[in-house]
Amino acid sequence: MGRSQPGKDGNWTIYDIARLAGVSAKTVSRVVNGEAGVGPETRARIEKIIEEVQYQPHIGARSMRHRTRDCLGVAISLPVNEAPVNQDFLLWIFQEIYRLFLCRGYFAVWDMNPPKLGETLDYARTLWQQRCGGLAVIGPLAINDTTIHRVHASGCPYITLGRLDSLPEVSFAAVNLEEGAYVSTKYLLNRGHKNIGMLKSFRGFQPSVERRRGYLRALEEAGLPPTEKYMRPVSFDTRDIVNAVHRLLIDPAVTAIIECSGCEDAPAIREGARRAGRVPGKDFEIVCWTYTSDGMVMSEACAHVWLPVKEAAAEGFELLAQWFAGEREGPIQLLYRPTLHEIITGKEISKPLRLFEMLS
């Protein structure tokens, strides 16, 4: 051990190894990077020393010569306490990152607290600071997002979990929410409903735009006027959902609701209906969006629309891993389609906890 002393901060440099081996730094560099041009016995001697002192190259110095390619950045596109990210989804993301990147010896840097920069958030600091050579962006993109434009322009491998109108070339793996809203609305129109309420969350974000678009398209096709007033913006707060449902159903004209808030909060819907004196499945009908293929958010719903968000993301991450490894090019453009099920077997799933709710 310690055949000499490493640098003052306790870390060995390539020069320390070179000195110990009686060669130049460049030769050590060649060995470390598995390059040719080193005699076998010299190589063996150097490798032995590296092993002995457990030398590891300084990533900072390396990253000054070329972009780091062994670390993926994981970022969230908005502050977590505003994010519709639930515990299960985040753990699931972690699994995917683990399976596709960490397991393969890559590192992953997380940045979950993007600073506000004027109107938008800079969630790609890990990239700008060259901590990583690729980025996975979790969460919905803001309509006026500019960060993703810069990420895209950087040419590095990246993926988002949603499209963005202002950047059609964006790399994404997502579900067609416009179609989800369209089939939901059309289904209810076909059942004779004329005034259909919608719980529309993600205000200011792309998902909100897509829901609106699908809803209006279905109405238009049916020759009905666009009734924006039945699209109620909601937050992820339970009380907000209760109020929104209450307000919608207090209007006797409203005979159906599309629950696409992303909250999967059946009790809140029921409470809102109760306050309005309405009975789901009797007084009015509900179409519920769900994110698991075998789960049911609400047993009273007349139909469920399954959004294969995880399935899209899983394939997206897979492709990102390939892109990251240089086995394919980007961008990734993966659009899964939602499916409407009239009958769902299995038990009702309970409302997932959002990430910030875990915090004491």
Partner DNA sequence: CTGTTAGCGCGTTCAC
Partner DNA sequence: GTGAACGCGCTAACAG
Which lies closer to a copy of itself via its Cβ, residue 76 or residue 174? 76
| Closest residue by Cα to residue 303 from 178, 179, 188 | 188
Contact stretch for DNA (CB under 7 A) within 38-46, 83-91, 143-151, 316-324: 38-46
Residue of 19, 43, 45, 67 that binds a copy of itself (CB under 8 A): 67
94 binds, among a copy of itself, DNA, none (CB under 5 to 8 A by kind): a copy of itself
Q: Using the rule CB under 7 A, is 37 a contact of DNA?
A: yes
Residue of 4, 5, 19, 26 that binds DNA (CB under 7 A): 26
Query: In whole angstroms, what is the distance from residue 275 CA to residue 279 CA?
Result: 10
Q: Using the rule CB under 7 A, is 116 a contact of DNA?
A: no
**Would you give the distance in Å from CA 229 to the centre of its chain?**
30
Contact stretch for a copy of itself (CB under 8 A) within 120-128, 165-173, 219-227, 344-352: 120-128
Residue of 19, 53, 62, 213 that binds DNA (CB under 7 A): 62
137 binds, among DNA, a copy of itself, none (CB under 5 to 8 A by kind): none
Distances (CA, A) of 217 to 77, 182, 186: 28, 7, 9
Cis check: omega of the bond before 331, within 30 degrees of 0: yes
Following CA atoms 206, 211, 212, 215 in sequence, which dihedral angle do they give, to the nearest 10 degrees?
160
Residue of 37, 282, 345, 359 that binds a copy of itself (CB under 8 A): 359
Q: Using the rule CB under 8 A, is 343 a contact of a copy of itself?
A: no
Binding residues with DNA: total (CB under 7 A): 29
Residue of 3, 44, 48, 61 that binds DNA (CB under 7 A): 61
* Residue 3 beta carbon to a copy of itself: minimum distance, rounded to whole angstroms: 16
Which tokens go with 167? 């950047």
* Residue 29 beta carbon to DNA: minimum distance, rounded to whole angstroms: 3
Query: In whole angstroms, what is the distance from residue 216 CA to residue 256 CA?
Result: 15
* Residue 36 beta carbon to a copy of itself: minimum distance, rounded to whole angstroms: 23
Q: Using the rule CB under 7 A, is 64 a contact of DNA?
A: yes
Residue of 20, 23, 83, 334 that binds DNA (CB under 7 A): 23
| Closest residue by Cα to residue 295 from 339, 351, 353, 346 | 346
Contact yes or no for 199/261 (Cβ under 8 A): yes
Distances (CA, A) of 323 to 65, 150, 180, 329: 21, 18, 29, 6
Q: Using the rule CB under 8 A, is 80 a contact of a copy of itself?
A: yes
269 binds, among DNA, a copy of itself, none (CB under 5 to 8 A by kind): none
What residues line the site for a copy of itself (CB under 8 A)? 9-11, 51, 54, 56-64, 67-68, 71, 80, 87, 90-91, 94-95, 97-99, 102-105, 107-113, 115, 117-118, 122, 125-126, 128-131, 150, 153-155, 355, 358-359
What residues line the site for DNA (CB under 7 A)? 7, 9, 11, 13-15, 22-27, 29-30, 32-33, 36-39, 42-43, 57-58, 61-62, 64-66
